[in-house]
Amino acid sequence: MEHEEARTRVIIEGVEPEINSGRFPIKRIIGDKVVVEADIFADGHNVLSAILLHRKEGDLNWNEVPMEFLANDHWRGSFVVSELGHYQYTFVAWVDRFKSWQQKLAKKVEADQDVSMDFLEGAQLIEEASQRARKSDAGNMQKWAESLRSNQVSPSAKAKLALGNKVTAVMAKYSDKRCAVTYPKELVVVVDRGKAGFSTWYEIFPRSCMSEAGHHGTFKDCERRLPYISEMGFDVLYFPPIHPIGYTSRKGKNNTPKAKPDDPGTPWAIGSKEGGHKAVHPQLGTLEDFRRFVSKAQEYGIEVALDLAFQCSPDHPYVKEHPEWFRWRHDGTVQYAENPPKKYQDIYPLEFETENWQELWEELKSVAIFWIEQGVRIFRVDNPHTKPFAFWEWLISEIKKDYPEVIFLAEAFTRPKIMYWLAKLGLSQSYTYFTWRNAKWELTQYFTELTQTDVREFFRPNLWPNTPDILNDYLRDGGRPAFMTRLVLAATLGANYGIYGPAFELCENRRKDKESEEYLNSEKYELKQWDIKSPSSLKDFIALVNGIRRENPALQSDLTLCFHSVDNDQLICYSKRTEDLSNVILVVVNLDYRYKQSGWVDLSFEELGLDYDQPYEMHDLLADSTYRWQGARNYVELDPQKIPAHIFRIHQGITKSRNYRIMRKRG
Amino acid sequence: MEHEEARTRVIIEGVEPEINSGRFPIKRIIGDKVVVEADIFADGHNVLSAILLHRKEGDLNWNEVPMEFLANDHWRGSFVVSELGHYQYTFVAWVDRFKSWQQKLAKKVEADQDVSMDFLEGAQLIEEASQRARKSDAGNMQKWAESLRSNQVSPSAKAKLALGNKVTAVMAKYSDKRCAVTYPKELVVVVDRGKAGFSTWYEIFPRSCMSEAGHHGTFKDCERRLPYISEMGFDVLYFPPIHPIGYTSRKGKNNTPKAKPDDPGTPWAIGSKEGGHKAVHPQLGTLEDFRRFVSKAQEYGIEVALDLAFQCSPDHPYVKEHPEWFRWRHDGTVQYAENPPKKYQDIYPLEFETENWQELWEELKSVAIFWIEQGVRIFRVDNPHTKPFAFWEWLISEIKKDYPEVIFLAEAFTRPKIMYWLAKLGLSQSYTYFTWRNAKWELTQYFTELTQTDVREFFRPNLWPNTPDILNDYLRDGGRPAFMTRLVLAATLGANYGIYGPAFELCENRRKDKESEEYLNSEKYELKQWDIKSPSSLKDFIALVNGIRRENPALQSDLTLCFHSVDNDQLICYSKRTEDLSNVILVVVNLDYRYKQSGWVDLSFEELGLDYDQPYEMHDLLADSTYRWQGARNYVELDPQKIPAHIFRIHQGITKSRNYRIMRKRG
């Protein structure tokens, strides 16, 4: 054992957050406060000191923040992340000999014991520290040491000096850290831009934005759709793949095995003689049209997100240029995608285990870079769980080196451990099981797991009530009230959410058949003109909800989500709030799309920062009506034929008591 | 990235148990089954295989056990530890290409799809595997491959062959592990002997075993006490320090600062001109007497445990021989022990941070080795939390290298994180907060933490209702019924427990004063003759309880502890059982030492392996009476003036249904 090892008595363990023993970073948004905690202790009865070290990755020097002792050997520290990229943090702790001495002295003084020896010991500690001190402090320190030794100074004056603020502050500056312990791991924070944590997505097929029925929509047509999308309040517009579509084995309407000559095929069968992943489908327009569209969208405050769907149609140029990137069958054909008994003959998966994997990975990276160069900074990643984990970790870290602002949304509708692992590897947001969670108990359980456990540190949920692949039973059976309910849930349970439109706002609920969740006449396989001006469209309701999200910062994060009890299983109630309680939102939703439901909510006042003895105002931002509530139990009643939800902003009038509450919460 | 790294697709995480990311071993007893679990998954839809590797430390080769898939990507494996010392275990998992192929084939066959290409693929996999196979298998495998390729064999016969048990078993033997992932840590199990997990301690001051009042008891006197101790059913006899006691600053009766000439001093003030930690206090006898006593005790099935109290009286030979092992004050005296405002002038702590720490540590190790050479294999470690953690980790591992059978009991009455850390470092058992946990809610909470969380993997509780330092309020106020209650709780909540006697069996409950928990006229400071033949002694009751412990293996482990609900907060109910449910014990204790209490217990049938539709017999082993119960809710009534507890052994008659239950539990 090394000399120092034998003399370092401090243990640092139980660090939170720390994902997979520090193998993975935690995720934060620019401006966030990173709060970290650890158990720090030593043998014996000494007083410890601990600091949190943090720095931007690449900086030579650490910033030091003193840690605060909470209770039961548990300490806390925090720092703010103000730039995109990676931050590092770790801990240093030591037996603080001077503070220990002060504590002993104070106890002895209180018990009126003889402390003459203690003063000599303290003088020595101060003198030793003065050797490490700046000149400006060293002089004073020498004088203090002399006073503690002097026969001229009374014991009570010595005690007052030794325990005073001045000595304490200066001695803390020059604390003896020779036996300090440094936590052996440098933990990492990935800092993303705001949109990674708060975003409102709208998915459309650009080819369905045609101005006339039967025509193939173009980027130019999409430009005309921008005001409509912007008025609804979306800030991310996600396009399924915009590349040339293969001809071989192309699927027809409703996924029939053989396409008719004018069937457009699915956009996910990428690649034809007209090009592959870096080309634009000619019927949508040119690459220049796309770039123009991206900047037009920006004018509306909308970012365009593209699909990273790493798979090929049989006609993709890769198949001829790189046959080694595919898996060949014994009959000399390429193995198409299959999930027995399902077959996808129009799609060839890439063989990531090819001997030439490095070339393949580099090519795929160049695809992402290509679209970044066209102005894209958000990608929806198609089925990441069917490609190697190591590939995603490499790809994302490569891209974020130069473009730390890029956001990746994982379309990983797969098993929970795999979803979480992909998030740990670096995918910025993820689709969730929200799509199928309709009952109160399962929403409560799932969102508690997502927001109140370690999962919150690395997994950012993005909630989709529908997608082109999924029209769930609830929407099919519930129609318009169900669409309203699911919209409010997605938009308020999730700081990130999205809808697939115009199917959603037009409450499209016709299924292809009973077995699957596919839409009837899905636009995955055909051109489709939607009647977006339909008077029954939910567009105004969506605009209202998205406006509420924009105006209420409480809804722009998931970390404060808290469920409150309601004595009716068809009613769900939850709140979100800003850290300082200046914005507190309470949502109540009727999950029954058929009948009016009523019940008594029972609010957690502590969580909402409310005073028990004061009435408070509940301003329903959906109906724009205000209620006066008092006490924890209050009556609610929601009619799915009208508005199936309340989104309340809570106001409690008296300023003085509000300040008091904020203070308490911060403490 | 390395080629192999890019192609290994399997993740192994969430390993349980794994203490501090594998920094510390888990603890087991010889013969235990070590059950370990992990999350194992990969991208894609392939089938995985996983094995658990385990070996005795030092063995070159690993033993392999296939792991079983449970659900949700969670796997389990187990192995038995059959020798003292250290075992290692880790995991290997891989994408099983053949099993994946079989699964795909089975699905396609079921869907009546063309599988001709699949058979060719399978043939190739079998042929490749045959290259890795023993000759005895390779021939068959070649034939199977041929059959799958042959035009003479029908598709249905091919499918039957390919999915059959024979092919499956042989292919599992030669599975392609080239891209297998090995878990990067080799986790460790420390295997102790049975007594580390199940022991019954009795503490006495040997000097108080005198045959005549006023005499100083000797080891010879202690020999005469052995039948008494043995009849009560104890198997560990712990002596406070048996070394020469210092004279300087010796404490008098009731811890008064100045001893009278015939005051014997506290045994923890170790060392005088008569010797130090390797000497025997002359008034107790000689080293030979001690050795003789150890072997006499063995004849009674009792092991002698000594105190490792690493501190010195001012007269200890170390003080002169090694002044550098102590902390010197400015007035040229050694710093005595203090915990302001308390002072222990008769005790000098050792300065573990001395420049000569290596010499000091080696000397302390030689102390332990010295007593091991006299036949001692169990040590009670005095205040380990006031010595450096690194020292204990080093000392215990040094000693266990040669003497893996040695057991260390940590007297760490300190903060929870420190208690747990000492257990992680290697101390075999630990004192607990049981001493002060009297209410139902706190016993339930504490013992759930000790036995149903990770703590159970490294921390073995040893429950003491009293010690020479602690006479708690409950015993002081409750008298005899309280002593009975606390005995039953200690003996049944803890597989390891102990009492400080004869104070305990004689229900000594006089306190020195109101402020402290010290005994009046504590034998720490004076000779004391106890009236062990008193008719009010609890010795027969203790013998009965310890007999029940010996005869019921359920009580010899803490891992199956389970609390059952009772509708009376003065009644606590819990069970323990063997893994195979052949021994099931249910304990009900009245915590109120004053009044009779009654209530309805509500048993968890699943936990007890009971059938809902069968009556069962409750044999109270304390009162030797039997009740017939049916259903989960049953009435109990306990009178502290009689016996304040039931210790039931549960019998349910019908053999067939019992077997059924065992099967279900094992599954």
Structure ipTM: 0.93
In B, which residues are within 8 Å of A361 by CB distance? 6
- List all residues of chain A from 66 to 85 with a beta carbon under 8 Å from chain B: 72-73
B205 neighbors B221 (Cβ within 8 angstroms): no
**What are the structure tokens assigned to A156, written together?**
């009570």
If you average pLDDT over residues B484-490, what whole number do you get? 98
A149-158 own/partner pairs: CB under 8 Å, 24+ apart: A149/A119, A149/A120, A149/A123, A155/A115, A155/A116, A155/A119, A158/A119
Catalytic residue among B382, B457, B517, B558: B382
CB-CB: which of A9, A73, A110 is closest to B417? A73
Q: Is pLDDT above 80 for A2?
A: no
B68 neighbors B36 (Cβ within 8 angstroms): no
- What is the predicted pLDDT for the residue at A661? 33
B128 neighbors B141 (Cβ within 8 angstroms): no
Interchain contact B43–A (C-beta under 8 A): yes
Q: Is pLDDT above 60 for B83?
A: yes
Q: Is pLDDT above 50 for B666?
A: no
Q: Is pLDDT above 60 for B663?
A: no
pLDDT band at B612, cuts 50/70/90? confident
Q: Is pLDDT above 80 for A396?
A: yes
**What are the structure tokens assigned to B339, written together?**
């915990």
**What does the pLDDT look like over A507-563, one tens digit per residue?**
999 999 988 999 999 999 999 999 999 999 999 999 999 999 999 999 999 999 999
Quick one: how far is CA B441 from the chain centroid?
A: 23
- E strand residue ranges, A85-127: 85-95
- Cβ <8 Å between B417 and A39: yes
Interchain contact A370–B (C-beta under 8 A): no
d(CA B93, CA B15) in angstroms, rounded, equals 13
Q: Is pLDDT above 50 for B341?
A: yes
Q: Count each helix (H run) and each strand (E run) in chain A, helices first.
A: 17, 30
User: For the whole model, what pTM was predicted?
Assistant: 0.93
In A, which residues are within 8 Å of B94 by CB distance? none
- List all residues of chain A from 152 to 191 with a beta carbon under 8 Å from chain B: none
In B, which residues are within 8 Å of A21 by CB distance? 21
Q: Is pLDDT above 50 for B375?
A: yes
Interchain contact B342–A (C-beta under 8 A): no
- Cβ <8 Å between B6 and A330: no
Interchain contact B413–A (C-beta under 8 A): no
* A411 is annotated as an active-site residue: yes
Q: Is pLDDT above 80 for B2?
A: no
Q: What is the DSSP string of A213-270?
A: TTSPP-HHHHHHHHHHHHHHT--EEEPSP-S-B--TT---GGG-SS--TT----TTSB
Interchain contact A416–B (C-beta under 8 A): yes
- What is the predicted pLDDT for the residue at A400? 97
In B, which residues are within 8 Å of A42 by CB distance? 389
Interchain contact B2–A (C-beta under 8 A): no
**What does the pLDDT look like over A636-645, one tens digit per residue?**
999 999 999 9
Paired residues of B65 in beta bridges: B52
- What is the predicted pLDDT for the residue at B431? 98
Q: How far away is chain A from the Cα of B275, in angstroms, using its nearest Cα?
A: 27
If you average pLDDT over residues B568-582, what whole number do you get? 96
d(CA B148, CA B156) in angstroms, rounded, equals 11
CB-CB: which of B45, B117, B417 is closest to A41? B417
In B, which residues are within 8 Å of A43 by CB distance? 385-389, 418
Helix (H) or strand (E) holding A586: strand A584-590
**What does the pLDDT look like over A307-326, one tens digit per residue?**
999 999 999 999 999 999 99
Q: How far away is chain A from the Cα of B7, in angstroms, using its nearest Cα?
A: 6
B329 neighbors B297 (Cβ within 8 angstroms): no
d(CA A152, CA A146) in angstroms, rounded, equals 10
d(CA B631, CA B611) in angstroms, rounded, equals 9
Look-up of token digits 């995918």: A427
Nearest CA in chain B to A22: B21
Q: Is pLDDT above 60 for B455?
A: yes
Helix (H) or strand (E) holding A170: helix A165-173
Number of A:B CB contacts under 8 A?
A: 129
Sorted by sequence, the CB contacts under 8 Å of residue A406 that are 6+ apart come out as A372, A377, A378, A379, A399, A400
CB contact burial B355-382 (16+ within 10 A = b; e otherwise): eebeebbebbbebbeebbebbbbbbbbb
A380 φ/ψ sector (left φ>0, alpha ψ -120 to 50, else beta): beta
Interchain contact A357–B (C-beta under 8 A): yes
* B517 is annotated as an active-site residue: no
pLDDT band at B7, cuts 50/70/90? confident
**How much of chain A, in percent, has pLDDT values that exceed 90?**
93
- What is the predicted pLDDT for the residue at A658? 39
In B, which residues are within 8 Å of A1 by CB distance? 390, 394
Catalytic residue among A32, A411, A505, A508: A411
Three-class SS of residue A98? helix
**What does the pLDDT look like over A362-379, one tens digit per residue?**
999 999 999 999 999 999
- Cβ <8 Å between B44 and A386: yes
d(CA A402, CA B150) in angstroms, rounded, equals 56
